[in-house]
Amino acid sequence: MKKYFIAACSIFLLSQISYSQVKLSGMAYFDYFYNFERRASKIVEKDQQGFQFRRIFFTADFDISEKISARFRLESDGVNFAGTPKFASYLKEVFVQYKFSNASFYAGLLPTPPIEAEEKFWGYRSVEKIQVDVRGAVATRDMGVAVRGSLDDGKTSNYWIMYGNNSSHGAESNKYKRVYAQFNQQITKNFVTNLDVNFANAGRDKNHLMGRLGLYYQEKASYSLGASLLYNSFQKVLPGDKNLNSLGISAFANANVSDQFALFGRVDYWDLNSDSNVKNDSEFTVIAGLDYQVDKNFNIIPNVSYNKYELSGTNSDITGKLTFFWKF
């Protein structure tokens, strides 16, 4: 059934080329990985190694008119170390955009606000997701409507408001929804602050609240720095109707050392339950690597990740990857 659906989508895209301006693009993340050390798991093993596609995008962007555009994006991925032999192909984004003078309206399967800003400054989604994505604090896509724009002509004060199903790529299955709000302030040409808040209601008041404050600095074609503080609260999900409040901190830097080479590194701290009475549930992560730009659209990125668990007697996760990243 999937192959017929994808074939139908492909025929539709080709048919539209005659009627509007269409830009076709894609990208892929491909690794050779080796697990030097892993925490005990039925799925993940020490010394497991091999090749994997972590992400493949195929995107069609349509300029329907001067004010209306649309996007259709498919994704295929292999879930890391999940033991499943098949790639999953699914709709990643399908939306229409209507442009006003200082804002845009979106409807469909959309990117959610918390992802884009930090990913842009981190610069290495090809190596690892940002912390809010790694920890599942919010879905990267949702079905709904959004308004995104600027409060001033200089576009230094920007906002993004979204109302969605809170079902990620899935169909709606209940009456509950999520509201997203983001505000970005460009302090100087290179320095940006970012505030994200989103809230999802649920049955029996088991609501979800997420907030993140980010500070980012970038010298174009030279280096980038960033730090963020993440708060994630699932309400009334613990015994005695207590909240599960999580705290995350992430800091990163990347720098070009020549026209073809760059260095990057990141440190994350994650405390699953920030209650001072709860111990042995935090994690400390270090990511580092070298980026070799072979060509404008092709990079080879050797990198290593180290994840240490607070729980005594638990092995750390240490994985080395040789990542190939290309765009087309």
Cα separation, 112 vs 142, in Å, equals 6
Burial level of 11, CB count in 10 A (0-12/13-18/19+)?
Answer: exposed
- Answer yes or no: is pLDDT of 59 > 80: yes
pLDDT digit string (tens) for 125-164? 999 999 999 999 999 999 999 999 999 999 999 999 999 9
Q: What is the pTM of this model?
A: 0.90
Tell me the β-bridge partners of 68: 98
Contact between residue 287 and residue 127 where contact means Cβ atoms under 8 Å apart: yes
164 closest CA partner among 155, 174, 152, 153: 174
The DSSP output letter for 275 is: -
**Mean pLDDT, rounded, of the chain:** 91
Segments making up each domain of the chain, as ranges? 23-327
52 closest CA partner among 35, 37, 32: 32
Burial level of 256, CB count in 10 A (0-12/13-18/19+)?
Answer: middle
Tell me the β-bridge partners of 142: 110
- The CATH number given to 23-327 is 2.40.160.10
Q: Average pLDDT, stretch 25-30?
A: 97
Contact between residue 260 and residue 299 where contact means Cβ atoms under 8 Å apart: no
Contact between residue 74 and residue 94 where contact means Cβ atoms under 8 Å apart: no
User: Quick one: pLDDT at residue 80?
Assistant: 45
pLDDT digit string (tens) for 182-230? 999 999 999 999 999 999 999 989 999 999 999 999 999 999 999 999 9
284 closest CA partner among 260, 311, 303: 311
CA distances from 204 to 9, 166, 207 (A): 40, 17, 8
